A and B are shown apart, each in its own frame.
Chain A
Amino acid sequence: MESGQVTTLTRDSARSSYARIGRFLARLVLGALFASAGALKIYDPGAFAIELERYQLVPWKIGVVTANYLPWLELLTGICLFLKWFERGALLLVTLLLGIFTLALASALVRGLNIDCGCFGHALVSTGTVIPILRNVVLLLLAGMLWTKYR
């Protein structure tokens, strides 16, 4: 009986250390991805604004505000998550942002926007939209893993 109990305890702590490692990796991956995504866009907000315009979701001026603000938000959120500063707040923002990005991509997919070039007319949807959506779904699941800590 004693040995049985010990075995159970060992199994539980093994499971929870796998979970800890999993959460640690998820935090690193999400934090690094967000920080680098933001950092890249900080350099040229003008180009980002033009990219946003292609999605035709918001008027130009709102795109300008987004292009100036979003990269810094991503960078800060990514750093906070990575370094465990304001971890809960950062995680909340990461989840919200991922959700919004995925919805934006999905809307482009559904509307069949010819994001690449005007040559095909309007029936074009490129794999360039599908893969980021799938990637975001995976990232959302990683975020989900981090939320389990707070249950």
Chain B
Amino acid sequence: MRKPVFFLLLSFFAASAYGQLVFEQPEQSFKAKPVEGSIVAKYRFTNTGTVSVKIENVQTSCGCTTASLKKTEYAPGESGEIEARFTIGGRIGKQEKAILVTTSDAREKPIQLKLLVDIEDQIRIQPELVLWRVGEQADPKKIEVTVADDAPVKIVSVLSDNPSIKAELSELKPGKKYEIQITPTDLSRQGGATILIHTDYPPQNPQTRYAYARIK
């Protein structure tokens, strides 16, 4: 009758002896806004084994995530942490990035840490691109800019980098819904413009978003 309990306990010991570097939270989730620029996640671990472990390599699944360590060798019982920095870049929505940790412990295959970031799109530009064909009629096209409800962002101004394609901003719903009217003047040949959408957030370094006009 005692045997099954014994085997159960044995299996738990086996489980903890299997991995020498035990991570407290190998999977971490964050919510972020694009203005934050980057997210830092700290992965704490402890060497629960009986010998020293050396971290040989820490590799990330993309250039957008960098990982750093204070030192590479950890004695039994010692704790440490891997700091991962994920740069948001132009991304929006749910992102999943992986960090691969290779150790000197021969029994263990590389450990994978996960960083999940849900990036909220504070400003929606729809559509991002307006297109005319050469020879078409020069009808203006509209781009709608919507600001998320809880976002303290306002559109200040718009500017076209090509004077022959005009951009005009109008506010449909104060602070929440805007409209940019794009009017080309010469549709006889190909061309284009980048529309700079200036915001007022964050105050120290206001973000500029972009929309594009093309004549093809």
Contacts and interface: CB of A to CB of B under 8 A. Distances in A.
Q: Do chains A and B touch in the complex (CB under 8 A)?
A: yes
Interface size, B (range): 20 to 34
Interface in A90-137: 109, 112, 116-117, 119-120, 123-128, 130, 134, 137
Contacts of A8: none
Given A16-B1, A120-B98, A138 B7 contact: no
Contacts of B112: 116, 124-128
B106 interface: no
Interface string B166-195: 000000000000000000000000000000
Nearest to A137: B11
What's the dominant secondary structure at chain A's contact region? helix
Given A19-B1, A117-B98, A134-B15, A124 B7 contact: no
A124 B110 CA distance: 7
Nearest to B4: A145
Contact of B7 (A109, A116, A130, A141): A141
Interface string B1-38: 11111011001101100110000001000000000000
Nearest to B102: A123
Given A130-B19, A137-B11, A123 B1 contact: no
Given A117-B61, A141-B11, A22 B5 contact: yes
B98 A138 contact: no
A19 B14 CA distance: 23
Nearest to B23: A127
A104 B111 CA distance: 19
A134 B110 contact: no
A89 interface: no
Nearest to B98: A116
B100 A144 contact: no
Interface of B: 1-5, 7-8, 11-12, 14-15, 18-19, 26, 59, 61-62, 98, 100, 109-112
